[in-house]
């Protein structure tokens, strides 16, 4: 077995673990919290917890672009350049996190916003935000292993942190208090404890890389910012598409609808999670092939992967829809009734998204994502506006229909962008 195949298979295993963590957290959260909370309380928690999602975009896409650059530099033997990119990224993210933390404190505690003054909401949101800032730093646990050819290890570590944070929140929920305050604080403290331990381990193991804030370059930060801001379009677009639907649903139909819609969205996105498991494993291999000029290998990976993604997406969608009654009855204990139309529409959207995901991965892995990134953000914004306008006209159906339109547009334009990149010798995003 070649080294490339072994790395990909290890990556698939690591991403499988990551997807298991995602599915477990999503599936377990509903019955765990609703064993005590009402549907209305759970909906309020989902709305509150959705706000810090936007902090994950605080690095303006810088970490993603930096990881690609570090991987390319390391693959070509330029370890010093990889170190310079790494240190510069640490400085950039640390400075930005400090600024956003100060702004968050001002907004939450001193602007007198009514919602934040209800109960412990201000402190709950503060704990969730701090946890999100820690997550920005945790992204570097993926950077160094990936750059040095140990992609799987980084994925395991990042997802372990996610899992242990959830476990900390649940433990606090049952052992301390069933309040939002207890869940948020417990998860944050447990996460911080394990992050410190993992950081010490990485420093000891990967001695080629230096965890320092002093060996940085403003010119590197400046040069990577355009690609980073383009990279930012994807998490912003995802937030508009995913969390935006939660806010729109909550505004028009209330917290109980949010709990129902989020449940169906979670089930439907099993397809995306399976595609991500494989496509993310191909990411570092695509980056290395592009760095050494092996465009043929990139094309081969994309063509074969696209066909497999389409077949797998359709197959999983059909299985999930066929067993939806059983899944809902076992998962929610009958508290969330089935709505075949809602689930069916969401499954159509995720089948399209899963089939087109590899195209976006190829563009991201090679830092050739600027054009599609802007389109992705535009499609997400238009999708949100469509749902806002038409919820008053056709009801909740506007939410899944707008998502379907978004996924169709993204699929068509991502394929076109990859085709142009592989055909044009002088392609530049």
Cβ–Cβ < 8 Å for 102, 126: no
Instruction: Label residue 114 by pLDDT band (50, 70, 90).
Output: low
Cβ–Cβ < 8 Å for 306, 358: yes
Instruction: Label residue 56 by pLDDT band (50, 70, 90).
Output: low
pLDDT digits (tens, 9 = 90+) for 349-393: 988 888 888 899 999 898 888 889 999 999 999 998 988 888 888
Instruction: Label residue 156 by pLDDT band (50, 70, 90).
Output: very high
Is pLDDT larger for residue 46 or for residue 378? 378
H or E segment and range at residue 111: none
Instruction: Label residue 119 by pLDDT band (50, 70, 90).
Output: low
Mean local confidence (pLDDT), 404-426: 86
Q: Is the pLDDT of residue 428 over 50?
A: no
The whole-number pLDDT of residue 190 equals 94
Q: Is the pLDDT of residue 18 over 60?
A: yes
Q: Is the pLDDT of residue 297 over 60?
A: yes
Q: Is the pLDDT of residue 116 over 70?
A: no
Cβ–Cβ < 8 Å for 270, 320: yes
**Could you give the CA distance from residue 133 to residue 53 in angstroms, rounded to a whole number?**
10
Mean local confidence (pLDDT), 25-39: 86
The whole-number pLDDT of residue 217 equals 85
pLDDT digits (tens, 9 = 90+) for 212-238: 888 888 888 888 888 888 888 887 888
Q: Is the pLDDT of residue 429 over 60?
A: no
First to last CA, the chain: 35
Burial letters 173-190, b for 16+ CB under 10 A, else e: beeeeeebbbbbbbbbbb
The whole-number pLDDT of residue 409 equals 92
Mean local confidence (pLDDT), 332-338: 78
* Residue 189 φ/ψ, nearest 5 degrees: -70, -40
Q: Is the pLDDT of residue 246 over 90?
A: no
Q: Where are the domains of the chain?
A: 1-216, 232-429
The whole-number pLDDT of residue 166 equals 93
* Long-range residue pairs from 343-347, CB within 8 A, at least 24 positions apart, any chain: 343/264, 343/267, 343/268, 345/397, 345/400, 345/401, 345/403, 345/404, 346/264, 346/265, 346/267, 346/268, 346/400, 346/403, 347/268, 347/271, 347/317, 347/320, 347/321
Instruction: Label residue 333 by pLDDT band (50, 70, 90).
Output: confident
Of 54-68, 201-215, 330-344, the range with the lowest mean pLDDT is: 54-68
Of the chain, the percentage scoring pLDDT greater than 70 comes to 94
The whole-number pLDDT of residue 216 equals 81
**Could you give the CA distance from residue 158 to residue 339 in angstroms, rounded to a whole number?**
35
The whole-number pLDDT of residue 54 equals 67
């Amino acid at each position: 077995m070649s080294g490339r195949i072994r790395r990909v298979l290890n990556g698939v295993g690591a991403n499988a673990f990551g997807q298991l963590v995602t599915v477990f957290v999503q599936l377990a959260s509903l019955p765990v919290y609703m064993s005590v909370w009402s549907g209305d309380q759970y909906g309020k928690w989902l709305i509150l917890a959705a706000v810090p999602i936007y902090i994950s975009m605080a690095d303006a896409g810088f970490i993603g672009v930096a990881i690609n650059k570090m991987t390319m530099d390391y693959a070509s033997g330029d370890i010093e350049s990889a170190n310079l990119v790494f240190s510069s990224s640490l400085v950039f993210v640390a400075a930005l996190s400090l600024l956003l933390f100060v702004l968050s404190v001002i907004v939450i505690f001193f602007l007198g916003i009514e919602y934040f003054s209800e109960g412990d909401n201000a402190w709950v949101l503060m704990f969730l935000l701090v946890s999100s800032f820690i997550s920005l730093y945790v992204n570097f646990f993926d950077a160094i292993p990936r750059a040095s050819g140990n992609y799987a290890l980084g994925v395991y570590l990042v997802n372990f942190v996610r899992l242990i944070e959830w476990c900390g929140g649940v433990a606090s929920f049952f052992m301390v208090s069933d309040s939002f305050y207890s869940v948020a604080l417990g998860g944050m403290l447990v996460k911080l404890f394990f992050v410190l331990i993992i950081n010490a381990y990485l420093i000891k193991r990967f001695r080629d890389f230096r965890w320092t804030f002093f060996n940085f370059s403003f010119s590197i930060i400046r040069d990577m910012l355009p690609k980073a801001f383009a990279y930012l379009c994807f998490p912003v677009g995802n937030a508009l598409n995913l969390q935006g639907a939660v806010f729109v649903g909550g505004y028009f139909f209330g917290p109980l609808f949010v709990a129902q819609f989020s449940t169906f969205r979670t089930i439907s996105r099993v397809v995306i999670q399976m595609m991500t498991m494989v496509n993310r494993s191909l990411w570092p291999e695509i980056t290395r092939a592009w760095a050494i000029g092996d465009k043929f290998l990139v094309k081969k990976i994309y063509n074969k992967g696209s066909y497999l993604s389409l077949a797998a997406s359709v197959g999983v969608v059909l299985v999930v829809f066929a067993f939806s009654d059983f899944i809902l009855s076992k998962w929610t204990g009958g508290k969330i009734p089935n709505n075949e139309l809602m689930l069916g529409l969401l499954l159509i959207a995720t089948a399209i998204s899963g089939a087109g995901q590899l195209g976006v991965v190829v563009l991201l892995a090679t830092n050739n994502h600027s054009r599609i990134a802007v389109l992705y953000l535009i499609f997400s914004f238009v999708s949100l506006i469509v749902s806002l306008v038409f919820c008053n006209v056709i009801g909740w159906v506007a939410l899944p229909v707008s998502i379907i339109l978004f996924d169709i547009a993204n699929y068509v334009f991502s394929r076109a962008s990859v085709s142009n990149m592989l055909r044009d010798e002088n392609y530049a995003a």
